[in-house]
């Protein structure tokens, strides 16, 4: 399957002949969720963005941001990140032959994401501060040096990420009442709404934030955001106004979900739907279960990142292994007992 820029070039800011840095991202599955649908009393589908090359939706934005950086002659790409943007930047920068640098909150990014960023050869800087501080610092740095800033303040990120809305509309023939999506820095909900508007489909946009990191819900910046969903541990989203506009204009809303609700949805998706996503992604389903979607009949929940990103949370939430001696009776008891 071709990458996003190749598939949607007529709707993206790339001309024929422009350099394209791609890992054949996008074209992710949209799978029905029968158990969840029965609980909600509506038709629920899951958009599995963890099926992207680095395991999150960030690759959609990154193919565009890094391709544009190469077109502009940049040598270095940088971002602040709670982990997934860092992993994606690192991979696409490696592929493009650019130097990658990522600033992450020390001790607050999931193990898989850290392993990815390091393996792809990015310079990983652990900031003794949170994501919001990291973003303010990289913005200032990019103002003073000729480096490509590829956080979702970069328009190319939004352009790439809007293509997920195109795919959903194609898969459902435009029949969609509501979209449920986790909100952190608020770039993704902004991107989906742009994509939907471009193809003339207007689902209600329901954004969900973790209760300890819910600036949009409270209408004010959160100084010390906290949540088990480390990817959305953000207190001052860069795309604040655009995210609010997406929800208001579409007739949706923003609401908070507790860590307990997030983890319950995380386990439910894995155990009942066979879908392993990371905790932040499960906020979309947690929100749907806790708050509903205004009586919508056909709903898509965006699962933004793969469960393998965060093995530590998975092992803390899952059952334990069964130790066993290498002998038939013991194996029988272990398997069938
Ligand atoms: N889900 C996951 C798995 C994420 O990694 C993020 C953001 C979001 C949801 C929220 O998306 O920021 O566009 O509202 N992760 C960023 C990062 C902040 O650095 O990887 P958003």
Residue for token pair 């990154």: 62
Which residues, in sequence order, are CB contacts of 118 under 8 Å at separation 6+? 90, 124
**CA-atom Rg of the chain in angstroms:** 20
Atom index in ligand 1 nearest the CA of residue 181 equals 9
State in Å: Cα 330 to ligand 1 middle.
45
pLDDT tens digits, one per residue of 85-102: 999 999 999 999 999 999
State in Å: Cα 136 to ligand 1 middle.
16
Pocket lining: 225 vs ligand 1, CB cutoff 6 Å = no
pLDDT of residue 98: 98
Q: Which residues of 188-215 are buried (b: 16+ CB within 10 A; e: fewer)?
A: bbbbbbbbbeeeebebbbbbbbbbbbbb
Distance spanning both ends of the chain, measured CA to CA: 46
pLDDT of residue 309: 98
Residue for token pair 């352009």: 159
Domains and CATH numbers, the chain: 4-56+160-316 (3.40.50.1100), 58-155 (3.40.50.1100)
pLDDT tens digits, one per residue of 197-236: 999 999 999 999 999 999 999 999 999 999 999 999 999 9
Q: What is the pTM of this model?
A: 0.97
- For ligand 1, atom 11, the nearest C-alpha belongs to 184
Under 8 Å between Cβ of 262 and 210: yes
* 108/119 Cα distance (integer angstroms): 18
- For ligand 1, atom 15, the nearest C-alpha belongs to 231
**Mean pLDDT, each 10-residue run in order, the chain (337 residues):** 93 97 98 98 98 98 98 97 98 98 97 98 98 97 96 97 98 98 98 98 98 98 98 97 98 98 98 98 98 96 98 96 97 96
Count, in order, helices (H) and strands (E) of the chain. Answer: 15, 10
Query: Dihedrals φ, ψ of 21, to 5°?
Result: -105, 110
Pocket lining: 83 vs ligand 1, CB cutoff 6 Å = yes
- Single out the residue of 226, 165, 150, 215 nearest to residue 186, CA to CA: 215
Pocket lining: 254 vs ligand 1, CB cutoff 6 Å = no
Atom index in ligand 1 nearest the CA of residue 277 equals 3
């Amino acid at each position: 399957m071709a990458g996003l820029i190749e598939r949607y070039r007529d709707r993206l800011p790339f001309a024929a002949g422009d350099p394209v840095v791609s890992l054949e991202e996008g074209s992710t599955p949209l799978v029905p969720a029968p158990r969840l649908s029965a609980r909600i009393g509506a038709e629920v589908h899951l958009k599995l963005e963890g099926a992207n090359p680095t395991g999150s939706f960030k690759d959609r934005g990154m193919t565009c941001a890094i391709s544009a950086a190469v077109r502009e002659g940049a040598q270095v790409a940088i971002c602040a990140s709670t982990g997934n943007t860092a992993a994606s930047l690192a991979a696409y920068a490696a592929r493009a032959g650019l130097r990658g640098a990522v600033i992450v909150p020390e001790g607050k990014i999931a193990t898989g994401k850290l392993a990815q960023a390091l393996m792809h050869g990015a310079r990983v800087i652990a900031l003794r501060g949170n994501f919001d501080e990291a973003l303010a610092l990289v913005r200032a740095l990019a103002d003073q040096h000729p480096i490509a800033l590829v956080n979702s303040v970069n328009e190319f990120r939004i352009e790439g990420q809007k293509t997920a809305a195109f795919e959903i509309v194609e898969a459902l023939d435009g029949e969609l009442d509501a979209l449920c999506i986790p909100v952190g820095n608020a770039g993704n909900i902004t991107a989906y709404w742009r994509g939907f508007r471009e193809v003339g489909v207007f689902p209600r946009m329901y954004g969900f934030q973790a209760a300890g990191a819910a600036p949009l819900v409270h209408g004010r910046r959160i100084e010390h955001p906290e949540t088990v969903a480390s990817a959305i541990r953000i207190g001052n989203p860069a795309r604040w106004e655009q995210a609010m506009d997406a929800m208001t204009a579409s007739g949706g809303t923003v609401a908070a979900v507790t860590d307990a609700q997030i983890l319950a949805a995380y386990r439910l998706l894995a155990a009942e739907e066979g879908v392993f996503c990371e905790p932040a992604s499960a906020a979309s389903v947690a929100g749907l279960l806790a708050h509903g979607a205004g009586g919508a009949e056909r709903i898509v929940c965006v699962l933004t990142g793969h469960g393998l990103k965060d093995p530590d949370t998975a092992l803390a939430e899952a059952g334990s292994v069964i130790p066993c001696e290498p002998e038939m009776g013991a194996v029988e008891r272990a398997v069938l007992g």
